[in-house]
Every structure is written in C-alpha cells, then in structure tokens.
A and B are shown apart, each in its own frame.
Chain A
C-alpha cells in the first residue's frame, strides 16, 4: 500500500477516542457530575459510527502500522459496544463521593485506543504499545476502589504479574526481530514460509514465537498463565471486572488471531500441539475449578478462563472460518457477561440494606457476591431474573441463545481441522459448565430468599433488556451477524 496523504482522517476511532478522553478529563473540573455519563456515551457512539465509515474497504495505514478491514471493524465494533454497555451500567458512580468518574471514563476511553491497536496492528511495535495502554489502564481501574483492601491487593498483583508478562512478550518480539529482521507481520510470515522450505535452524524464531504467545496468553488468562485471574477479577470493582473480562479478552483474542493467521500460519504444524495442550489445560482448570466456587463473582472469573479455552479452540483450528467464529463468540460472550455483571451489581448493592434488616452485618456483607444473594430473586424481580437466566443459558451454550452458535461455530472450525479429541474434551467441559451456570438459575427461581424489589434506573433497564434481546436474536438468527463478515 502506498502512503496516502489523507491517512489520518481515516484512523478516526483512535483519534476520536484519544481526544474525547482528554475532553472528559476537562469535563471533570465541573462541580456537577451529571454531564459525564451522557458525554462518554455520546463519544462512544461517535467512535462507533466513525469505525464503520470505511465498511467494505481494506486499508493499510501509516507504512504498514495499522490494518483496517471488515474483520477489524467488527472486532472494534464489539469492543465499542461492550464499553458502551459497561459505561451505561455505571450510573451509580455519580452518587459515590469517593469515586472519580471523570478519570474512570477517560481511562476507559484511552484503554480503548490500546484495544483498537491490538485489533488492527500490522507492526509488532503497535501490538506492544496497544497491550501496554490497555494493561496500564486496567491496573489502575483494578485498584480504583482505593479503600478496599482486596482491590489494592488485586491491583498490585495484576501489576507485578502483568509487568512480568510484558517483559516476556517484549523478549519474544526482540528474538523474532533478530530471526526475521522485521517487525511487520507479513514480513515475519514470509520468513516463516521461506525458512521452513529452505531448512536450517529456526530455533531463534521458535523461541521468540513461543515467548510472544506466552505473553499474549497471559493477557487473555489461558492456563497455565491464568493464576492471577480469580484474585484480580474478584478484587476489582464489578463494573471494571465486566470491562476486563469482555474488552480485554476480545482484544487479546483478536491480536492472537491476527498474529497466528498472518505470521505463524506457515509453521502451523509446529505450534498447534502446544496451543492444543494450553487449550485442554484451560478448559479443564477453568471449568472444574469454577464448580467449587462459593462466590458468584469468582465463578465468573473461572468462567472467563473457560471461555478463553473455547476461544482457543477456534485458534487451534485456524482457518478462514475461525475468524467470524471468534468474532461471533466474543460478541455473544461479551453480551451475556455484561448482562450478568449488571444484575450482580444491582443485587450486591442492595444486599447491605438486607444485612441491616437482619442485623448480621458482618457475615452478610462479606457474602454479598455469593450465590445465596440470588436466592428467590426472580419472584419479586422477574425482569432481573430473566436477564440473568438468559445470560447464564447463553454462557452455558444452550440452543436458542447466542452462546450456542458461538460454541457451534468455534467447534466446527476445529472439526474441519480434524481435532476431534479436542472437541470431545470441550463438549464434556461444556456439560460441566451447565452445572455451575444453572446453580444461579436454580437459586433465582426455586430457592426461598428475602430479596426485596430492586429499583432499576430506566436506562440501566434498557441496557439489560437490549443485551438480552440481542443474545436471543443472535441465538435465533445467527446469520444476521454472519452475513456481515
């Protein structure tokens, strides 16, 4: 591609998000916080529209730095939609005296810049800078509940381990540059193709490749690099856990998909065994440990590990079909996860009141994110019960929900490659998943509980309903989305 003078007009989402993040910081000077939430949502909508302006075209920007094509636009759209929903669930921040919503929203928008770079990168430097922007933003947001010890611990843990993983990622990039002499994905891919044909030692290339993959697998919390996930997801404020488990995961898998399909497809025979082992480990550890959790939030952390496993199946069965499959899966997973966390936040916020009524403040306050919190929820709050039930069904992969088609597409991509034993493990683990997802549904519909009617703000309600409707619509008509790619 040649260098075009109107380049910078078409990198709009990144520029818009950076500028609106700065604008939000200035809006934070105002006394009133009423304007922050609508402004953030408006900025996100503008970025969403700007993202799809180039629909149907393929551009390579700034001397092979960023690629924009339909797939990248879809991933960016998923990420922007997830952020829009997470932000719209944050209305209670404005009433919280300790919170600094202007800073939170600005950091969220900045972190999206990193996510978009990870989605469309063509140069490994762009990948590194994108990963860093997203990670640094996440360290801060994890520790944003400054007076909560668990949040502090989670932030420090995440920061130390994340910095270590970044070091491994960077080492891998350096070795790859040494072996291939190029930072550009297609240049590395050309080397992989020609060097495998020519013979000779490619040890440097392989070591670099595995270090790069380890760094990225850490970021998407695949086993055996998952150990930080439960503590961090549990300690972070629920709002940002929802963001982390959707946006970071989507961007991480988009980046993995990109680098594996462009750079490393020539040495597929070399890495697919290692990736398959990681996939099986992730599925086993994620699903089986999730069964033993007493806390809903911790279960969601392990569930996010197990979903990383299902997404990895799409990567192991790398083909043209796995691109839309992973995009669809990310969308389905993000929708149901955000809806589930939305309900959890409402339930958890209403728990301390109940605790005061029953006088047992300490014990109940500590169990506000446990399964017990959902007991009898559906009786008095049929809407919340339904939203939660649909998102649990979708995460479990029950037919007529988006999650089913996500799993189906990912599995069929792997089946084409003939990895049948992998599918057997995956299907068995999905059955395990049904157990812990249904615990919530059973608690809501069949257990007796003392939940009062929970007041839901109108906009919050609309977002929850929209997520549920989209989950069901994609479950009934998956072709709606598939036709786009």
Chain B
C-alpha cells in the first residue's frame, strides 16, 4: 500500500513537471507546477521530514504559486500582441522552441542530472551513521533548536526582511515629481 502511494506521488510529481515544460499555455504551466510542488511535499513526508513538507505547502503552494498566478494573470495580455496572428495558447512554449540551442540545453540538463544523481547515490552522508531519533515529529526539535542554538540567525533574518521591505517600498513608490 505504502509503495503504491509512493509511486503514485512520484508519478504525480513527474507528470506535473513534464506538463510545466511542455504545455503551450503559461496558466496551465502554473497549475501543473501546483501538482509538482504538492507531490514533492508528499515525498518529503515519506522521507520523514514532516516540517519540511508542511512548509513546502505553506510557502510554495500557498505563497510562491499564488504569486506566480497573480503575475501571469496581471501581466499576460495575449489579445494585445499584434505581431503574431496565432492565439497565445497555440504559440509554442518560448522556453522550448524559442532558443536554437535546445539540444544543448537538454544535454546540459541530462548531464547535470546524471552527475548529481551519481554523486548523491554514491555519497557517504555523515549523519547516516548516527542513530535515528524516535520522536514522532521533527517540529518539536526544530522549534527548540530555533529558539536556542540558532537564535542569532533567526533574529538577524528580521534585518534581511526589513531591508527587503524597505527596498521594495522604495522601488515601488511613485516619484514625487512626474
């Protein structure tokens, strides 16, 4: 049963990813991305990383993806493009067909994939030797660590957010003079 679920989630992730790549419509790509991100979240659960799975759903599905959808809906105006007579949904995906070096890209991606997967399969991870914690969830440990060991980075990240906030406000603000 568990195995079937595992492979089902893998299939979900892969189908989503392929749809993102191959579909001609940006909106469909965004929806397919939703499938992929949910599938990855499920795979995190299988790996025992429950906190990571939840944050994956909250941050990527809930935040980033909604942002992407808003971006697509607010910016793409297929009707105003007069240079091409083809409807937007029938035009080929610019990432796939727009550049001439498609095969170069595919080769690069394949090479990177095989290199990294070989590297990770043959790697000896240091933490594998340590005993696995019996705690039912990882959230407990993460919360405690965040408030003790990693309190300084946790606090300083607020400066990062403040800089980003001030900067975004400044850059988005209209100039006083026209």
Contacts and interface: CB of A to CB of B under 8 A. Distances in A.
A139 B163 CA distance: 11
Interface string B115-129: 000011011111100
Contact of A178 (B125, B157, B163, B167): B125
Interface stretch (B3-11, B88-96, B131-139, B148-156): B148-156
Interface string A39-63: 0000000000000000000000111
B166 interface: yes
A62 B162 CA distance: 23
Interface stretch (A102-110, A263-271, A405-413): A102-110
A137 interface: yes
A146 B160 contact: no
Nearest to A17: B159
Nearest to A171: B116
A98 B148 CA distance: 44
A181 interface: yes
Contact of B175 (A18, A61, A98, A178): A98
Contacts of B176: 97-98
Interface residues of B, number: 29
B165 to A, nearest CB: 10
B103 interface: no
Report whether over half of chain A's contact residues are helix, strand or loop; otherwise say mixed.
helix
Given A111-B163, A136-B160, A136-B167, A65 B153 contact: yes
Given A191-B126, A207-B119, A103 B170 contact: yes
Contact of A204 (B123, B152, B164): B123
B47 interface: no
Contact of B153 (A11, A125, A181): A125
B163 A126 contact: no
A22 B163 CA distance: 10
B104 interface: no
B153 A103 contact: no
B171 interface: yes
Contact of A140 (B130, B159, B163): B163
A117 interface: yes
B164 A136 contact: yes
A4 interface: no
B77 interface: no
Nearest to B162: A110
A143 to B, nearest CB: 6
Interface string A316-331: 0000000000000000
A133 B156 contact: yes
Contact of B167 (A129, A140, A179, A207): A140
A133 B153 contact: no
B123 A147 contact: no
Contacts of A106: 166
A61 B120 CA distance: 34
Contacts of B166: 25, 103, 106-107, 140
A204 B177 contact: no
A144 interface: yes
Given A63-B149, A106-B166, A140-B167, A133 B159 contact: yes
Contact of B160 (A132, A139, A182, A200): A132
A11 B159 CA distance: 15
A133 B163 contact: yes
B145 to A, nearest CB: 10
A113 B163 CA distance: 11
Contacts of A136: 160, 163-164, 167
A180 B162 contact: no
A201 B152 CA distance: 34
Given A25-B166, A65-B153, A207-B119, A110 B124 contact: no
A137 B163 contact: yes
A65 B152 contact: yes
Contacts of A14: 156
A300 interface: no
A480 interface: no
A153 to B, nearest CB: 14
A56 to B, nearest CB: 24
Given A62-B151, A66-B152, A139 B126 contact: no
Contacts of A180: 126
A203 interface: yes
B27 to A, nearest CB: 23
A115 to B, nearest CB: 12
A101 B175 CA distance: 14
B126 A129 contact: no
A148 B119 CA distance: 46
Interface string A2-23: 0000000001001000100110
Nearest to B116: A207
A178 B159 contact: no
Given A114-B159, A179-B125, A201-B124, 9 more contacts: A62-B152, A97-B176, A107-B166, A110-B163, A125-B153, A126-B152, A129-B153, A178-B126, A179-B124
17 contacts: A22-B162, A62-B152, A63-B148, A65-B153, A66-B152, A113-B159, A117-B156, A125-B153, A129-B156, A133-B156, A137-B167, A144-B170, A146-B171, A178-B127, A179-B126, A201-B123, A203-B122
**What 7 pairs between A and B have smallest CB-CB spacing?**
A181-B126, A140-B167, A204-B123, A62-B152, A181-B127, A65-B152, A110-B163
